[in-house]
Structure 1
Amino acid sequence: MRFDDTLDTVLAADLSTPLGRQSVYRQLVDLIGRRRVPAAARAIETLEAIAPAVPLAHRTAAARGLAFAQPPFELVRLFARDTLAVAAPVLRTATLEPGEWQRLLGELAPPARAILRHRRDLGSEVERALAAFGSTDFVLADDRVGGADAVVPSPAPVVLDPPMAEPLEAEPVTPPPVRAVPSVPSTFASLGSVALTLPVVAEAVRRAEIQPAPPPAEPVPDGPFRIADVVARIDAFRDARERARPHANDGPPPAGEARMRFETDAEGVVRWADGTGRAALIGLSLRLAGGGAMARVDGVAAGAFRQRARFRDARLRIDGNGPAAGDWLMSAMPAFDPASGRFTGYQGTARRPHPGELAAPAAPAAPAPDALRQLVHELRTPTNAIIGFSEMISLQMLGPVADVYRDRAGAIHRHARDLLGAIDDLDLAAKIESDALTLRPEAVSLRAVLGSVAHDLAPLAELRGAAIALPERDAAVEGDRHAIERLFGRLIATLLAATTRGETLAMAIEEAGERRVLTITRPAGLPDRVEAGGEVSEEEDAAFAALPLGTGFALRLADNLAHELGGEIGFGDAAIRVSLPAAGGGTGRAATNS
């Protein structure tokens, strides 16, 4: 059973600092408003307690972040009691049950109820409840200096019988005092001068002459932010950049340029087309990459269709020998029903590509050996750290560890060792590619090397149910001992992975002049098409790969190592032959400094 302690974690945060209160406020609003945690009483009480200490800008931003998030009644009620700048974003989009709206209306101030009067999705019950407040919500407050000059009369409060279980009491409104308008002098006066004697007009003129100060910029809230805000800003930036970028399809087509127009239905099937290749376009589906028998479209259009988004320059190929045969570029915009907003299809054009637009992209350049070696170094460092920590857990160096965790640490250690071997292989391949492999020739006993390799591969042989038969005689070869061990380690591991249960890899050493040849019986599972270069198909590589980098890579690495040591590998029908220079023969390669 899993317990979600997210709410407890947030409520346990420090509320003694302004930043802590702002952080807790934003987190609680986001969690409760998106219904990730229940609207517990202690969470709502915490919000009520810290809200006065949270700046208005932060509370307003939190309210705007709940647009269309369907917050619960308790949170909507909390925001509705706040100032209008905080309550308005929530009241415009909140979705509550009719009974919850009726409970909330009696607690709202007239400006807040005025926001709900503009909504058309509250239902008849809530609208009748709003009507029960009558004209009391439409009385204008007298906010002028002094208050005695108000001349706007307000009608007497009218209370309608609400169709609710509990009648709502209209809020008493005291009409502002009314000052008598001075009489018009008997002498002639223009209508404008008479109007200026009215206090309302005079006040309006006075306010119009005073330039209002620009509103202060909304401060950027400190503290944590939501990923959704960052994503929205990124989308807005990309959309603005896309609109400002010139496209090949913008503007009228050049004279004589072949173009087609088309329209699709809601399923993405072209139902109408006009132009040279209209017959091939009719029935083409943008929903699936590939298309029909005569025309094929690439995955750009299919991906845009799934998102109901526009697309530009999708590849279209029309088969045949007609005037429309060949390559086209399609661009289209999605269409929506103005009344219902329902997706109705695409409307677009297709044009012939300009010279160079269909040029095949250059093959990606292989990473430079130096860059690959740098990457290998970056991979080796964390892998060694993983191996070290897993050993510390297995050996209980920091204290007692349960057996199940020790087993898991052992598995991590084994997998990390395999990964480190693959990283070393990549490093070795990069050194060979850049001719930076360091070789220190010496006389090496073949049987001693093969015995060490067989000991290391004993778990793999046991897993495969196979056996390794070492050669009876020994021979000394000239070469770098570490490189020779790596050569036979990768080669024999790959051959073991291709053995069947009960099969034995028999080895024998022969003399051939100044060379020593190791013969290994060919396993039954090794593909017949394997040649000296170690080339295998992807299917065969996935079927019996012994190393993380695959069988093909292991065989190529062994073959390259053999060449670096002055030898070669031959793949015969019955055996694999590895030829290396004999000790003292003088045919080995000189050491190369990295």
Structure 2
Amino acid sequence: MLFDDRLATVLRSGAAGERAARTQFRQLLDLLGTTPPGANGPLVTAAYARLAEISDQIPSTDQSRILREPWLRLRNPRLLAHLAEGDPQAAAAAMATARLDEDDWAELIPELPVIARGFLRHRRDLPDKAKTLLARLGVRDLVLPQPDFAEEPLVEAPAEPPAPPAPESILADTGSEGISALVRRIEAFQQARRSAPAALAPRLPLDDGAPDAVNGQSKSCDIATEVSGRVTWATPGYAPLLVGLDITASEVLDARSRAAMRRHQPIHGGKVRIDGVAAVAGEWLLDAMPGFGATGSFTGYVGRLRRPFAGAVASTSGPADRMRQVLHELRTPVNAIQGFAEIIQQQLFGPAPNTYRALSAAVGVDSARLLAGFDEIDRVVRIETGQEALSDGGGNLRLAVERTLKRLEGVIRPRSAKMRLLVSGENFAVRVGDDDAALLGWRILATLAGALAPGEVVEMTLTGSQKAVVLAMELPLSLTTVDDLFGAAAPSQAPAVTAGMFGSGFTLRLARAEAMAAGGSLAVEDETLVLTLPALTGSPAAHSQGDETTA
């Protein structure tokens, strides 16, 4: 019943947004990966359906990274079979990290797709029974065995490399010499070919033939894409290397350019990163224009990829990238600590004293808070450097603010404090999604609520128009004496409510970055914090002017 309760809790929670989807992906992998092989029922079926749905939302590289995390426990053959049917990159990671016993491997391997069996041949820790089964199924490294030269040594190549002997002469009259002589002649032919001049050796034109290449890297290239963003044409010489590339993938194109492509807008200086041979690998800048047919339908993009200047390339690996690398190095041990704490708290490997379980539960909570803080820092870095954009949509800022005030009412009421909201206008739709609008409102209002003194009352006004939605908030007295309201300083004492673990300054800086990413602003004007977001023109909401809400 403990497992069923946990699984039901995960299935009840939503997976809206990229981070929520990754979190639920980890939870489902952990829960399904530790179930008994014969476990079944409506909850398990629903969990596998949800896992397949979330997998479509997460890039294959991120799935592979999650599946290779050290805390993950893949011990369920059914889950492994499910993952093997999915993306090849994720299937390879699952095959590399799964831990099954000998009988489970023997039952699972014949049911795996051929490509998944091929991934298993790289493992050296499989049971003997599994290795024997793989050999019987013909799964082995595709390498020719070394010839046996015990009977006759290989003839040394002459000083002047001769022309490679013709295959016909090698294969002729082999009946009397036997198979071993044929193998030696093939090896002699290969040795002579390796010793011949380079011009005689066959080559694949991977790094050749690309025009205007300098030091192995090309300077520019024209491309065209289809509606989905996949490259369908490229400058001759680049076509074999670029056609089929999905230019909209998160690991290829920066977030702002992806947002422009979703809106069918022009792209100027979009940051592109391509992994491949030297002619196309590395950083590019994309200038592209959308194309439309005679009926007005979108047909794709036509543009040019160009190499950035050396100074621009150097700037892309600056403090922001170093900070993200530091966060990555910090997450790894914290994830491991959290995993071990859960093992003790849930007694997965055997009984544990209640004292240790209580301590491990506290460690798990602290680890979760640290990971949440790392996510906040990573979000600031990604937004401020243009690597992440807010979600599109028509979020209602008025609803977000009013719901947040209701949530905060239970915290500030015992201190006799109030946050009074006066609303005017009709249009409160903004150009961000509901989730991002709610998160932005929570960061700002929770920070102000945490700074309220007992009995203090602050006034706020929310004004909606066809051009912008403006939320003006009177600052609590404790924040009016702060020199830099957006300075990231550690709080002197824990407030009654907080929207982040790094203090009000850092939280407001993150909110300001989110507002700027949405095309608006967050600034201090005469002891008033003003949030301005561009309005999304639409049908006026049925709200009366002059409404007042108090928290």
Higher relative contact order (CA 8 A, sep 6+): 2
| Pairwise TM-score range, normalised by the shorter structure | 0.3 to 0.5
Normalized against structure 2, the TM-score is what?
0.33
Normalized against structure 1, the TM-score is what?
0.31
